Amino acid sequence: MTAFWLSAVALTVVALALVLRPLLWRKSGAQVSRATANVSVHRDALRELDADLAAGKIARADYERARVELEARLLEDVRRPDEPAAPAPRRRLALALGVALPVLAAALYFLTGNPGALQREAEHAQTVAQLDAMVERLADKLRANPDDAEGWKLLARSYSALGRYEDAAQAYAKAAARAPRDAQLLADFADALAMARGRRLAGEPEKLVLHALAIDPNNLKALALAGTAAFERQDYRGAAAYWQRMLPLVAEESEDARAIRSSIEEARSLIAPGAPPAAAATALKGVVRLAPSLKGEASLEDTVFIFARAAQGPPMPLAVKRAKVRELPLAFELDDSMAMAPGMQLSSFPRVVVGARISKSGSANPQPGDLQGLTAAVANDATGVNVVIDTRIR
């Protein structure tokens, strides 16, 4: 502790000299460092993040990404040059500060201070300084083991979190070469590549997005990016169609759903008055019922997906409507406005199969344990279609 106090006294003298000199000589130029304040703020944020992980409020993957972002932000902050403080005008103020500052600092330290905090700040600063080195070690490891697709994905996400989008795109490219059927990977790749190209999705990024949707038509990020790409080239009708496909995939009253609906409304509001109107939608009407034998196996708040798909053609739904079990029996109507993809509309297929599925998980993708009912092939403009949910998916 003797060494500590000697160091503290020496640092105090130096600090006072730096602070009082411009006050005594009436010159500006003293600078107040923001690094300590930044470290304190970021340390508190990291503590909250650790607490959320311990309480199970966030997943481990989300925690790791958020921590990388916080540490990268801190690293950027502490590297910024400090801003000059405003000059003080009076010699009397200088003398008062010269006496008061050391006394107040000592009093506050003994009243509220925590010597252990000095060590913790030093440890955190060391962690921040090591962030870039950690990422580079991962890159070195992957260069020695280039077939690790998961490792390349992790490296790409780390680069993205640090704002190094060119490096992220290169890492995603290596991951995609080893996992070409990973729709989420392709969507993330497209996002990083677009960021590296000035936030523009035109060209290769959009091709990656469309490839992702060909693999997984319900990938939320790919649908969002596809809509954004269409919006960028002023295809507002196409943008609204892509974003419309997102709605059945998120909770109906969630913040996500509200944001998506707002984007759809904005896109539709920008469609030029003289633009050709959308083709009149073919309407298919009917009623969905739950078989009495399965009523005890469904909760009133379970999600019901009502859909039509081509009797002969791709399995992707042509139109989807979302409801709740408590609404059954439910009269429904499906039309082209509910299309899941441009060019894949109800009116494009004369014969369709109509189905309804109760999702226990709320997912649009069928899961074991879901309850489902399908009709025989009917005309795409049939009325009075009767769908009975009477089968459990194994």
Q: Is 246 helix (H, G, I), strand (E, B) or coil?
A: coil
CB-based contacts of 262, cutoff 8 Å, min separation 6: none
Give the pLDDT confidence of 88-140 residue by residue, as tens digits. 344 444 444 444 445 444 444 444 445 555 455 555 555 545 667 777 888 88
Between 38 and 236, name the one with better pLDDT. 236
What distance in Å separates the CA atoms of residue 79 and residue 56, rounded to the nearest whole number?
33
- Average pLDDT in the 245-274 region? 88
Between 249 and 37, name the one with better pLDDT. 249
pTM higher than 0.75:
no
Percent of the chain clearing pLDDT 70 (strictly above): 67
Mean pLDDT check: name the lowest of 4-18, 208-222, 369-383. 4-18
Give the pLDDT confidence of 150-171 residue by residue, as tens digits. 889 888 888 888 788 999 999 9
* Contact between residue 29 and residue 22 where contact means Cβ atoms under 8 Å apart: yes
Give the pLDDT confidence of 8-59 residue by residue, as tens digits. 544 454 454 544 454 444 443 334 344 555 555 556 666 776 777 777 767 7
Share in percent of the chain as helix, strand, coil (round to 5): 55, 15, 30
